[in-house]
Chain A
Amino acid sequence: MRTLGSGDIIYIIMAVRWTLLLSLVAFLGGALGGALVALARTGEYKWLRVASAGYIKVFQGTPLLMQLFLAFFVPGLFGWSVDPWTAAALGLSLHASAFLGEIWRGALEVVPRGQWEAATSLGLRYWPKMVLVLAPQAVRIAIPPTIGFLVQLIKGTSLASIIGFVELTRAAQIINNATFRPFTIFALVALMYYVICRPLSAYSKRMEQKLLVAAR
Chain B
Amino acid sequence: MSYEFDFADVFAAWPELLQGLLNSLVLSALAMAIGMVVSVAGALGKTSGPKWLVRIIDEYIELIRNTPFLIQIFMIYFGLPSLGLKFSSNGAALLALVVNVGAYGIEIIRAGIESIQKGQIEAGKSLGMRPLQIFRYIILKPAIQAIYPSLTSQFILLMLNTSVCSAIAASELTAVAGDIQSRTFRSFEVYFIVTCMYLGLSVFFWSVFAGIERAFLRKPTR
Contacts and interface: CB of A to CB of B under 8 A. Distances in A.
Most chain B beta carbons < 10 A, residue from A172, A182, A186: A186
A77 B67 contact: no
B187 A194 contact: no
B160 A63 contact: yes
A70 to B, nearest CB: 6
A182 B69 contact: no
A79 B188 contact: no
Given A63-B163, A65-B164, A183-B83, A151 B206 contact: no
Given A66-B195, A74-B188, A77-B1, A193 B167 contact: no
A151 B66 contact: yes
Interface string A169-187: 1001100100001110011
Nearest to A196: B66
B62 A198 contact: yes
Contacts of B198: 61-63, 66
Interface residues on B, range: 35 or more
Contact of A186 (B71, B83, B206): B71
A197 B199 CA distance: 29
Nearest to B167: A162
A18 B160 CA distance: 25
A197 B203 CA distance: 31
A61 B194 CA distance: 12
B66 A62 contact: no
Given A61-B202, A77-B3, A201 B62 contact: yes
Nearest to A202: B62
Contacts of A70: 188, 191-192, 195
A146 B80 CA distance: 34
A67 B191 CA distance: 9
A159 to B, nearest CB: 6
Given A183-B79, A187-B79, A66 B68 contact: no
B209 interface: no
B203 A61 contact: yes
A159 B164 contact: yes
B2 interface: yes
Nearest to A181: B82
Interface string A22-46: 0000000000000000000000000
Contacts of B83: 183
B70 interface: yes
A193 B75 contact: no
Interface string A45-80: 000000000000110111111110110011011110
Interface in B20-69: 62-63, 65-69
B204 to A, nearest CB: 10
B174 interface: yes
**Main secondary structure on A side of the interface with B:** helix
A155 B67 contact: yes
B68 A158 contact: yes
Nearest to A162: B167
Contact of A66 (B63, B65, B70, B174): B174
B1 A78 contact: yes
Contacts of A69: 187, 191, 195
B78 interface: yes
Nearest to B194: A66
Nearest to A74: B188
Contacts of A183: 75, 78-80, 82-83
Given A60-B202, A159-B70, A159-B164, A182 B79 contact: yes
Contact of B70 (A67, A74, A169, A198): A169
A74 to B, nearest CB: 7
B188 A63 contact: no
A76 B186 CA distance: 12
Contacts of B67: 155, 190, 193-194, 197
A65 B70 CA distance: 11
6 contacts: A62-B198, A65-B166, A73-B188, A186-B71, A187-B75, A197-B65
